[in-house]
């Protein structure tokens, strides 16, 4: 904080001196050349400034930037200070720099009594071993005793002519889901193949969708049957924070979430179905058919009697604005999340702060650098909003709070561009596209990349559904076209070492540092590739900022329909 302030003062001082010198200059030519050169340099994304910002945000002083901690306050103050120094306007609520994000942190108490009853016979479930349940409701106790419905993949996808629910009534019941989407495990000759993007996970495959669909249908609880390959991660990850959850406190209670949600271990699920006279493997195949319909398990109930610890946390999104000249109500948004994992257990070197240097202080630095370059350049016709989200790591909650109560109308938001983790291994010949085939913004990305002499490559693990796992997704769900650059979506083709070196960088980062103490700032980073990636967003913003174009979702995207509902509020192509 104080270092940044110092930097700002020195910078302001130099600028003042420069003005005085200019007036007294005798060699005007030299002056103009110097000015042109410094203007040229100032117009580029600066690797040194990126490094300096990350060094500050990832320092111990910021305590790993966990929401609701002293590190939260420091980070928010730092970001406001940075945006203010750049001459941006406050972009938050009521002329302020922030949007308050009230959160709840819940913890289901252990030991918890949880069981299935099949024909009166109890099957006891151990939290974290057989089941992992939590709640996103601010309630102090949970008592459930309800029938169980197997809903297959639980997809209600009219645009794909698919409905797993039929006539079933889920109100007051427990919905049991398969993970991923109906064609994930299908053979190429099965009728379902390709209906849900094949191996690429659609939103219907994510647990978040399943919990929401269960809530829309009035279910009291939703459980997803865990399978490692289809989930993209093991039971150890699924059950890593047993009983814990975070949620945005909703201003108005529209759609209440389910009371209890979580994972059911595959073995516990198989035992349940066997006792109830079904074969889970056979049901998995049946659920891949369009004819499948959800059904209630005969004489089966789910019981849970739990107490819950609820804590309130106030955090903030930081929002800054560069107003557009002629169409200020048309909004371009570029964002990153400021939060990280806070303080945890000591590592082998005794470090406890998990500083989130790459994830996502570097993305945040990218947003600040774009703000600096755009605010110094020619004004744009449309407004640009720079958003720094809180509580991404707790479940995309800062961005979720924004879409629940948007400061700028979402239907007039042209696009959201999100930076979340950038590679630090130097220049690359390509940029990795997450969510291929989703929106026309991928064509903007390709054009911007071509200007740099680079190409776009698709992510190499689309079945992991990274498109659904960063803040841009909160906006996408509301129909705003989005573009994500995420350095772990696939190995870049590095100028030094090629794809192999790019893959190796990801393996090292994920294996050692992701969400750990070692995600720390390093003087050895080569940020030239990251700066190029950030420049791609800058180019897209400048292009769309002076355009009347409204990029659209591509046909087949699950977000096309919701965007089209507000088509009338947008003019132009
Ligand atoms: Zn992140």
Q: What is the pLDDT of residues 224-245, one digit of tens each?
A: 999 988 887 788 778 877 788 9
State the distance from the centre of ligand 1 to the C-alpha of 471, rounded, in angstroms.
8
State the distance from the centre of ligand 1 to the C-alpha of 370, rounded, in angstroms.
18
Q: Distance of CA 507 to CAs 233, 380, 501, Å?
A: 15, 40, 10
Half-sphere exposure of 324 (CA within 13 A, CB side): 22
pLDDT at residue 6 is higher than 50: no
State the distance from the centre of ligand 1 to the C-alpha of 144, rounded, in angstroms.
35
State the distance from the centre of ligand 1 to the C-alpha of 393, rounded, in angstroms.
7
What digits encode the pLDDT tens for the residues 384-412? 999 999 999 988 999 999 999 999 999 99
State the distance from the centre of ligand 1 to the C-alpha of 494, rounded, in angstroms.
22
Question: Measured at the alpha carbon of residue 13, what is the angle toward residues 10 and 15, in degrees to the nearest 5?
Answer: 110
Long-range contacts of 502-507 (CB under 8 A, 24+ apart): 502/423, 502/425, 502/428, 505/423, 505/424, 505/425, 506/423
Q: Which tops the pLDDT comparison, 441 or 17?
A: 441
Intra-chain end-to-end CA distance of the chain, in Å: 44
State the distance from the centre of ligand 1 to the C-alpha of 461, rounded, in angstroms.
17
State the distance from the centre of ligand 1 to the C-alpha of 307, rounded, in angstroms.
31
Contact residues for 306 (Cβ-Cβ < 8 A; gap 6+): 108, 109, 112, 113, 114, 133, 141, 142, 143, 260
What digits encode the pLDDT tens for the residues 423-481? 999 999 999 999 899 999 999 999 999 999 999 999 887 777 788 889 999 999 999 99
State the distance from the centre of ligand 1 to the C-alpha of 363, rounded, in angstroms.
8
State the distance from the centre of ligand 1 to the C-alpha of 332, rounded, in angstroms.
21
State the distance from the centre of ligand 1 to the C-alpha of 398, rounded, in angstroms.
12
- Residue 108: its pLDDT value, please? 93
How is residue 41 annotated by DSSP?
H
pTM metric for this prediction: 0.81
Range scoring the smallest mean pLDDT among 88-102, 237-251, 322-336, 478-492: 237-251
Query: Average pLDDT of 72-100?
Result: 97
| Sign of CA pseudo-dihedral 396, 399, 401, 405 | negative
Nearest to 435 by CA among 415, 411, 461, 412: 461
E strand residue ranges, 379-496: 382-389, 413-419, 430-433, 455-458, 482-485
State the distance from the centre of ligand 1 to the C-alpha of 337, rounded, in angstroms.
7
Report the distance separating Cα 341 and Cα 549, nearest Å: 38
Report the distance separating Cα 495 and Cα 49, nearest Å: 23
State the distance from the centre of ligand 1 to the C-alpha of 56, rounded, in angstroms.
17
Nearest to 112 by CA among 309, 291, 298, 358: 309
SS3 93: helix
State the distance from the centre of ligand 1 to the C-alpha of 436, rounded, in angstroms.
20
Query: Average pLDDT of 307-316?
Result: 95
Report the distance separating Cα 334 and Cα 383, nearest Å: 11
State the distance from the centre of ligand 1 to the C-alpha of 412, rounded, in angstroms.
26
Report the distance separating Cα 368 and Cα 45, nearest Å: 10
State the distance from the centre of ligand 1 to the C-alpha of 515, rounded, in angstroms.
9
Contact residues for 397 (Cβ-Cβ < 8 A; gap 6+): 101, 103, 246, 247, 248, 390, 391
State the distance from the centre of ligand 1 to the C-alpha of 15, rounded, in angstroms.
35
State the distance from the centre of ligand 1 to the C-alpha of 389, rounded, in angstroms.
10
pLDDT bucket at 514, cuts 50 / 70 / 90: confident
Report the distance separating Cα 344 and Cα 334, nearest Å: 30
State the distance from the centre of ligand 1 to the C-alpha of 572, rounded, in angstroms.
34
Nearest to 387 by CA among 411, 417, 410: 417
């Amino acid at each position: 904080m104080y270092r940044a302030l110092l930097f700002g003062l020195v910078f302001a001082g130099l600028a003042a001196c420069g003005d005085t010198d200019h007036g007294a200059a005798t060699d005007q030519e030299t002056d103009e050349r110097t000015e042109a050169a410094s203007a040229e340099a100032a117009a580029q994304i600066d690797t040194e400034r990126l490094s300096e910002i990350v060094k500050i945000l990832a320092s111990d002083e910021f305590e790993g930037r966990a929401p609701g901690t002293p590190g939260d306050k420091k980070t928010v103050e730092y970001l406001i200070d940075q945006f203010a120094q750049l001459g941006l306007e406050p972009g938050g609520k009521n002329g302020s720099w922030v949007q308050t994000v009230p959160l709840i942190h819940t913890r289901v108490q252990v030991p918890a009594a949880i069981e299935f009853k099949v024909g009166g016979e109890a099957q006891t479930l151990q939290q974290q071993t057989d089941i992992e349940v939590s709640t996103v409701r601010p309630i102090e106790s949970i008592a459930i005793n309800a029938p169980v419905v197997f809903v297959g993949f639980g997809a209600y996808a009219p645009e794909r002519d698919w409905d797993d629910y039929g006539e079933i009534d889920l109100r007051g019941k427990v919905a049991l889901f398969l993970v991923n989407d109906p064609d994930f495990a299908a053979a190429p000759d099965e009728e379902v193949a390709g209906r849900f993007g094949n191996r690429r996970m659609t939103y219907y495959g994510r647990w978040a969708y399943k919990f929401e669909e269960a809530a829309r249908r009035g279910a009291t609880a939703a459980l997803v049957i865990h399978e490692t390959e289809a989930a993209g991660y093991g039971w150890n990850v699924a059950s890593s924070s047993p009983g814990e959850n975070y949620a945005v406190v909703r201003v108005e209670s529209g759609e209440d979430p389910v009371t209890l949600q979580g994972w059911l271990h595959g073995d516990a699920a198989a035992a349940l179905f066997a006792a109830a006279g079904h074969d889970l493997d056979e049901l998995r195949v049946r659920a891949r058919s369009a004819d499948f319909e959800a059904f209630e398990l005969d004489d089966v109930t789910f019981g849970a009697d739990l107490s819950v610890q609820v804590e309130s946390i106030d955090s903030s999104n930081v929002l800054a604005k560069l107003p557009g000249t002629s169409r200020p109500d048309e909004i371009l948004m570029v964002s990153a999340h400021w939060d990280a994992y806070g303080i945890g257990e000591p590592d082998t070197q005794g470090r406890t702060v998990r500083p989130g240097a790459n994830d996502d202080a570097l993305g945040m630095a990218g947003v600040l650098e774009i703000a600096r370059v755009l605010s110094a350049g020619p004004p744009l016709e449309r407004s640009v909003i720079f958003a720094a989200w809180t509580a991404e790591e707790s479940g995309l909650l800062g961005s979720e709070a924004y879409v629940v109560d948007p400061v700028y109308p979402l239907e007039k938001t042209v696009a959201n561009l999100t930076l979340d983790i950038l590679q630090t291994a130097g220049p690359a010949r390509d940029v990795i596209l997450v969510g291929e085939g989703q929106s026309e913004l991928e064509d903007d990305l390709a054009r911007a990349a071509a200007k740099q002499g680079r190409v776009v490559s698709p992510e190499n693990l689309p079945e992991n559904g990274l498109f659904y796992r960063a803040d841009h997704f909160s906006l996408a769900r509301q129909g705003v076209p989005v573009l994500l650059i995420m350095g772990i979506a696939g190995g870049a083709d590095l100028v030094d070492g090629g794809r192999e070196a790019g893959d190796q960088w990801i393996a090292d980062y994920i294996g050692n540092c992701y969400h750990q103490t070692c995600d720390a700032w390093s003087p050895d980073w080569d940020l030239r590739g990251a700066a190029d990636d950030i420049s791609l967003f800058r180019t897209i913003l400048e292009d769309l900022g002076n355009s009347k174009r409204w990029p659209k979702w591509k046909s087949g995207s699950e977000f096309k329909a919701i965007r089209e509902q507000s088509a009338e509020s947008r003019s132009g192509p």
